[in-house]
Amino acid sequence: MNAPIPIRNLYCVGRNYRLHAAELGNAVPETPLIFTKPTHAAVSWEGEVALPGTQGSVHYETELVLLFGQPYERGASLDRVVSHFTVGLDFTLRDEQERLKAEGWPWLSAKGFRNSAGFGRWEAYPGEEELARRDFTLRINGREAQRGNIRDMVFGFAELASFIGERYGLGPGDVLFTGTPAGVGALRDGDELTLAWDGREVGSAKVRLV
């Protein structure tokens, strides 16, 4: 991993964009829907990345990702505790997730597999307002597949940080995937996925379904 500090906890938010919740037939939650991934899920988005090819569809979810550099305490300003951001990929075994949801089981096998958390190049955190001025995008084989803007989030950064920080703890090295906009879909072996913020590429890699 090319992170500025070693990655610790990987927190993710489900259904944080209305149109994405709707495209999967899910209601928007009244409180943040938080799940985690093992640190072994983390992978720099470059070169070739292996993902599971024998467990049904693997969906891409493109998300704005925050890296915490300081411990979060109640009421802390995010400008002080968040050090970097990037665009990342929260990969999901969608058929497996549907099965887990039907059974009422935890999401680990659908969300926590190796390389299920891809990170672009980390950049200094410019603040939420600045991030909201620009879109983040995913291109697959050169064609735009997803475009999002954090102003469409159901729960904003401060709300997410206080919810997670007070319940589970947030400290240096912790990462927060802030949810995917609409447009998720299944990958094919050999797809080239390119992440960008404000039209500027932050990572590109080829997917190998193995």
Q: Which is nearer to Zn ion, 61 or 128 (CB)?
A: 61
- Residue 112: phi and psi, rounded to 5, are -110, 10
Distance of alpha carbon 71 from alpha carbon 69, whole angstroms: 7
Q: Which stretch binds Zn ion (CB under 5 A): 21-29, 56-64, 120-128, 186-194?
A: 56-64
Q: Which is nearer to Zn ion, 36 or 194 (CB)?
A: 36
How many residues bind Zn ion, per CB under 5 A?
A: 3
The yes or no reply on residue 61 touching Zn ion (CB under 5 A) is: yes
Tokens of 112: 């926590």
Q: Which is nearer to Zn ion, 36 or 180 (CB)?
A: 180
Q: Which is nearer to Zn ion, 76 or 161 (CB)?
A: 161
- Binding map of Zn ion across residues 88-117, x = CB under 5 A, - = no contact: --x---------------------------
Within residues 110-169, the interface with Zn ion by CB under 5 A covers: none
Nearest residue to 153 (alpha-carbon basis) of 7, 20, 4: 20
Angle at 126 between CA 123 and CA 127, to 5 degrees: 130
Using the CB atoms, write b or e for 127-156: b if 16+ within 10 Å: ebeebbeebbbbbbeeeebbebebeebbbe
- Binding map of Zn ion across residues 66-85, x = CB under 5 A, - = no contact: --------------------
Which residues contact residue 151 at a Cβ distance below 8 angstroms, ignoring those fewer than 6 apart?
132
- Cβ burial of 123 (10 Å; 0-12, 13-18, 19+) is middle
Least CB distance to Zn ion at residue 61 (A): 4
Least CB distance to Zn ion at residue 23 (A): 13
Q: Which residues bind to Zn ion, rule: CB under 5 A?
A: 61, 90, 180
